């Protein structure tokens, strides 16, 4: 009988040990699952906050400066389109407008007939400011040759400052050289020597 009791006690101890081990294992599994769940929550929050920052930076409600208040609408009768576009670029940079939105802002500053010229173009053209700039310069016949003529023949207007005059001449020169795709000093010297001959 003593042996039977010892066997029963031993079995009871083994069962109790097994239950205790199962409880410990269950608790470990639960803790591991809670840990994994918490990790997923934190990862989700981090991703959400990063995407919020990206969205906020990408889609700022307003630029720092309202471009429409600091830049007059373009008037083709009294403004030079090339100088106007240079001024637009300067002001857009100051207003910290991303380049991909420049076309949208520019369209708002152009007269209706010029906006319609842009509207007739393919969507891929209208998404890139450089292509729109080239289109407008071409439309107003501002070819490299025309820029050369403006550069050579330009005179200071009495109402303008010398700084304005220098900026205008510099712009005509840069557009002339850019239109000829001059990239090196050697190419530039050939253009200038050819002009002198």
CB-count exposure of residue 168 (10 Å: 0-12, 13-18, 19+): buried
Q: pLDDT tens digits for 89-137?
A: 888 888 888 888 888 888 888 888 888 888 888 887 778 888 888 888 8
Residues 148 and 185 in one domain: yes
Mean pLDDT of the chain: 81
Residues 81 and 97 in one domain: yes
- Domain encompassing residue 74: 67-140
Residues 56 and 19 in one domain: yes
Q: pLDDT tens digits for 143-159?
A: 788 788 888 888 888 88
Residues 52 and 78 in one domain: no
Residues 135 and 71 in one domain: yes
Cβ atoms of 88 and 71 closer than 8 Å: yes
* Structure confidence at residue 52 (pLDDT): 62
Which residue, 97, 173, 86, is CA-closest to 133? 86
Q: Domain boundary residue among 11, 26, 61?
A: 61
Question: How many Cα atoms within 13 Å fall on the side-chain side of residue 3?
Answer: 0
Q: Domain boundary residue among 38, 61, 84?
A: 61
Residues 14 and 36 in one domain: yes
Q: Locate tokens 């501002």: which residue?
A: 142
Q: Domain boundary residue among 10, 31, 61?
A: 61
* Structure confidence at residue 157 (pLDDT): 81
Alpha carbons 155 and 64: distance in angstroms, whole number:
36
The total number of structural domains in the chain stands at 3
């Amino acid at each position: 009988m003593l042996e039977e009791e010892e066997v029963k006690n031993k079995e009871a101890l083994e069962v109790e040990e097994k239950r205790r081990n199962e409880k410990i294992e269950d608790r470990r599994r639960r803790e591991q699952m809670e840990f994994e769940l918490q990790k997923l929550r934190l990862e989700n929050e981090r991703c959400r906050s990063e995407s919020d920052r990206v969205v906020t930076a990408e889609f700022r409600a307003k630029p720092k400066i309202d471009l429409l208040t600091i830049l007059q609408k373009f008037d083709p009768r009294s403004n030079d389109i090339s100088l106007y576009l240079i001024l637009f670029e300067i002001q857009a940079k100051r207003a910290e407008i991303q380049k991909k939105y420049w076309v949208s802002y520019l369209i708002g500053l152009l007269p209706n007939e010029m906006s319609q010229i842009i509207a007739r173009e393919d969507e891929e053209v209208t998404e890139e400011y450089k292509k729109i700039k080239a289109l407008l310069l071409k439309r107003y016949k501002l070819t490299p040759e025309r820029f050369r003529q403006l550069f050579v023949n330009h005179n200071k207007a009495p109402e303008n400052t010398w700084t304005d005059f220098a900026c205008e001449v510099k712009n005509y020169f840069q557009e002339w050289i850019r239109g000829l795709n001059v990239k090196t000093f050697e190419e530039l010297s050939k253009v200038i020597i050819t002009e002198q001959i």
